[in-house]
Amino acid sequence: MAASTGSSEPESADSLKSFGAVVKVFRERSGLTQEELSPLVQFSPQTVASIEQGRRLAPPEFIDRAEVVLDAFGVLQAAAEHLTRRRPGLAAWFRQWAALEERAITLYTYECRMVPGLLQTEAYARSLFHSLVPPLSDSQVKAQLNERMKRQRLLRQRPNTTFSFILEEALFLRRTGGVDITRELIGHVLKCTHLRNLEIQVMPLVQENHAGLGGPMQLLETSKNQWFGYSEGQRTGHLISDVKEISVLQKRYARMRSQALTLEESTDLLERIRGAL
């Protein structure tokens, strides 16, 4: 669920400050002021200053252009892989994945614990946050909800990104939050299936062969065709970049797509579950 614990953090994440310092070193090495670098990378001097001060996440275009203009030997692109920005509604361990998620061209998600955040209704998300132990404060719940709803814009703001979800049938049978919240949730998920760039498959409750018994997983492909994986447990998350581990997850996800119900069967099942509530 990637919920924030509400612990205090500085306004600028350390990774942003570190990256900004590296940009500044290479800029000064090239004998350029922020104003002189600005037209070369096609970003305003104010943006350049914000990036160097660690107050802004550098866009991919800035990183690529600055790498060339400053002749940075690949250092900027390597450092950019570790960028995260402060987002109070997200857990620290999830922020790096969330940053990658915003630029992904392919995103695969298998979930067996709860309906993924990108598909949640506000009421369903709120019920999840209210179930957390130890409990969150009202301000923490508000921050969680705001960030959760903002992330959902990815589904419509990135029409060229392919989204695939495999969801366990049990997630809808559990009735998290009650019957009314579950009914609304299923209706929302069904509406999402009408998006051309999104596919939702349901893994049936009875499934003798299941390739996903190792737990939930996510996979994404960047615009540079690099693949990353993410797995999450109790109060922890793990970003996976090793190509051998990625290959294992890709094989498991491919097998699960063949084991889950088809798109049409999944839609029919969700409609039947909603009708039975």
Check for a shared fold between 14-80 and 92-119+151-276.
no
pLDDT of res. 84: 56
pLDDT of res. 110: 98
Q: What is the CATH number of domain 14-80?
A: 1.10.260.40
Tell me yes or no: is domain 92-119+151-276 CATH 2.40.50.220.
no
How many angstroms separate the first and last alpha carbons of the chain?
A: 25
- Note down pLDDT in tens along the chain; length 277 residues: 554 433 333 334 567 788 899 999 999 999 999 999 999 999 999 999 999 998 777 888 899 999 999 999 888 988 887 665 555 556 655 777 888 888 899 999 999 999 999 999 999 999 999 999 999 999 999 998 998 999 999 999 899 999 999 999 999 999 999 999 999 999 999 999 999 999 999 999 999 999 999 999 999 998 889 898 999 888 888 888 888 999 999 999 999 999 999 999 999 999 999 999 9
pLDDT of res. 4: 40
Q: Would you kindly state where each structural domain of the chain is located, as residue ranges?
A: 14-80, 92-119+151-276
